Amino acid sequence: FSDSPLLSERKRRDREERLNIVLWKQPLVTLQYFFLETLINLKEWTIKLWHRRSILVSFLLTLAVLTATYYIEGTHQQYVRYMEKKFFWCAYWVGLGILSSVGLGTGLHTFLLYLGPHIASVTLAAYECNSVNFPEPPYPDQIICPDEETTEGSISLWAIISKVRLEACMWGAGTAIGELPPYFMARAARLSGAEPDDEEYQEFEEMLEHAETAQDFASRAKLAVQNLVQKVGFFGILACASIPNPLFDLAGITCGHFLVPFWTFFGATLIGKAVIKMHIQKLFVIITFSKHIVEQMVSLIGAIPSVGPSLQKPFQEYLEAQRIKLHHRADSGVPQGENWLSWMFEKLVIVMVCYFILSIINSMAQSYAKRLQQKMYSEEKTK
C-alpha cells in the first residue's frame, strides 16, 4: 500500500511526459518515435497475417477473381461499373463517418463539413429544379437541373429524403463502426485485468468507485447513461445511439467493461445511428434549407442593425451563384465566380485534414514512448 501513491505519481508523470511528445514541441523525437512505432505495427500486422494465412489466401483469390471480372470485356461490364461506382461512394461516406466518431483529431464533426452541406445542396437544388432526377454524371460531384419540364411545387420532402438516404445511412454506419474501439479496449481490459492508458476509461472506473457520492450534473448524466445501458441492454444502447449524445463513448466503454455481447452492442448502435438518428438529422437539415426558410433567414440577416446589409449581401450572392450553376453545365462557358463563403469552407477542410494527420503522428509517437516506459518498468521489476 505504501508503494501505491508513488506508483500513481510516477504514472502521472510518465503520462505528462508522453503528452509533451508532439511535433510543435519535440519535432525530431516525435518523427523518430512515429517511424519506429510504424515499423513495429507493420511487423505485428505481418505476424498476424502469417498466422491467418488461410484467410489471407482466400482474400487474395477473391481479389484476383474480382480483378479478372473487372478487366475482362463482356456484357457484365455495365454491372461492374455500376457496382464500382456505388462501392466507392459508400466507402467514402463510411470513412467520413468513422472519422466523425474519432473527432477528425479536433472534435469537429464531419457531418458539419461534408454530409450536412451535401444534404443542404441537394435540398436547395431540388426546390430550384422541382426535381431530384439530376443527370449522372456530373451528379454527385456537381448538381445540374434535369432538362425535362417540371411543375412548380412538385417536389416533396420524401423525395429529398430518398435522394440522400444512401450516403446518410453509410455515414451513420461509419459512426457506428467508429464507436467500436472504446468497446474493444474496455472489454480487453476487463478480460485481461490490465489497466489501459486511456483517460476516458480511467474516468469511467473512478465514476464507478464514486457513483453514490456523485453530485455534479455531468457525473450524474454519465452515471445515468451507464445505468441505462447496463440495466436495459439492447434497447438502452439503442436509445443512447438514436439521439445526438456526446456521452455515447461512455456507453461503448460500459458495454465492454460489463462484457455485453458484441452483436448486442454493435447491432443496437448500427440501428440507432445509421437509421433512427440519421433520419432525424437529415430531416432537420432538409427542413432548415427548404426554399422559403432560407429566404426568411437571409431577410432576417439583413434586419440586423448596422452590419445586417453588409452580411446579407454575400449570402444573397452565394445563393444566386448556386442557382445559376444549377441551370448551366460546367462546360457551357458560364463564369464560375468564387464566393468568400466557399473559399473559407475549403480552407477550413484543408486545415482540419492537416490537423488530423498531425494528430495521428503525435498519437503513434506517444504510443512508442509508452512502449519504452513499459519496458523500463519490466526491467526494474526483474532486478
* Alpha-carbon dihedral angle through residues 271, 256, 112, 199, given to the nearest 10 degrees: 170
Q: Where do the H-state alpha helices sit in the chain?
A: 3-19, 27-51, 53-71, 77-101, 110, 116-129, 157-163, 165-178, 180-192, 199-209, 217-232, 234-241, 248-257, 262-271, 278-288, 291-302, 308-326, 340-382
Phi, psi of 79 (to 5 degrees): -75, -35
Dist. CA 165–CA 370, nearest whole Å:
43
pTM (2 decimals)?
Answer: 0.72
The whole-number pLDDT of residue 1 equals: 39
Q: What is the pLDDT of residue 153?
A: 61
Q: In Å, how far are 101, 241, 370 from 377, measured between CA atoms?
A: 33, 40, 11
Cell, residue 22: 508532439
Residue tagged 436509445 (cell numbers): 239
Q: How many C-beta atoms lie closer than 10 Å to residue 98's C-beta? A: 20
Q: In the structure grid, which three cell numbers stand for residue 208, read together?
A: 464507478
pLDDT tens, residue by residue, 255-285 = 887 788 888 888 988 998 889 988 888 888 8
User: What confidence score (pLDDT) does residue 105 get?
Assistant: 44
Please give the chain's pLDDT, 383 residues, in tens.
345 677 677 777 888 888 888 888 888 999 999 999 999 989 988 998 888 889 989 999 999 998 888 888 888 888 888 888 889 999 999 988 887 777 544 445 777 778 888 888 888 888 888 888 888 777 887 788 887 766 666 678 888 888 889 999 999 998 888 888 878 877 877 776 655 555 555 655 565 555 555 555 556 666 666 677 767 778 878 887 887 766 666 777 778 877 888 888 889 889 988 899 888 888 888 887 777 777 777 777 777 777 777 777 777 676 666 666 666 554 444 445 455 666 776 777 778 778 778 888 888 888 888 888 888 877 777 76
Q: What is the pLDDT of residue 323?
A: 65
Report residue 257 as a C-alpha cell.
Answer: 467493461
